[in-house]
Amino acid sequence: MSKHSEIGIKGEQLAEEFLLNKGYSILNRNWRSGRKEVDIVAFIDNTVVIVEVKTRSATVFGFPEEAVNLRKQRHLRVAAESYLLENPRYINIRFDIVSIVIKGGSVQEIVHFESAFY
């Protein structure tokens, strides 16, 4: 497995633990609809939360959350629409980003951006 993939998987694990500690329920991890994927589908306060996790080992090229560009946002919106069609009991939805910086194998920063877009 590539170093890039290892960091991404570690980031998703950290984000899941972080959200659980904040009182979220995790509905799905790596949920797929065709070629679209959502890192984490969580639930809190009667709201489905589509969570994009971005993890980096350095901020030289920008902060992790900056990688959630308009194209990625559209991708997540389409995936969320599919999720809601498959799970019609959910009405409220929002899009969050969990940004993680890991240096030397330890977490330097975790930032949770609630209602990050749309």
pLDDT tens digits, residue range 2-53?
666 889 999 999 999 999 999 999 999 999 999 999 999 999 999 999 999 9
Q: For position 116, what pLDDT does the model report?
A: 98
pLDDT at residue number 24: 98
- Which of the following CATH numbers is that of domain 3-117: 3.30.70.2190, 3.40.50.1820, 3.30.70.940, 3.40.1350.10? 3.40.1350.10
Where along the chain do its domains lie? 3-117
Q: How many CB atoms lie within 10 A of CB 62?
A: 10
Taking a C-beta distance cutoff of 8 angstroms, is the pair 63, 99 a contact? yes
Looking at residue 118, what is its pLDDT?
84
Inter-residue contact 38 to 79 (CB < 8 Å): yes
Rounded to a whole number of angstroms, the CA Rg of the chain reads 14
Among 79, 54, 74, 63, CA closest to 118: 74
Q: What is the DSSP letter of 32?
A: E
Q: Are 44 and 25 in contact (CB under 8 A)?
A: yes
Helix H or strand E encompassing 56: strand 47-56
Give whole-number Cα distances, 117 to 11, 76, 87, in Å: 21, 10, 22
Distance between CA atoms of residues 44 and 21, nearest Å: 12
Q: What is the pLDDT of residue 3?
A: 64
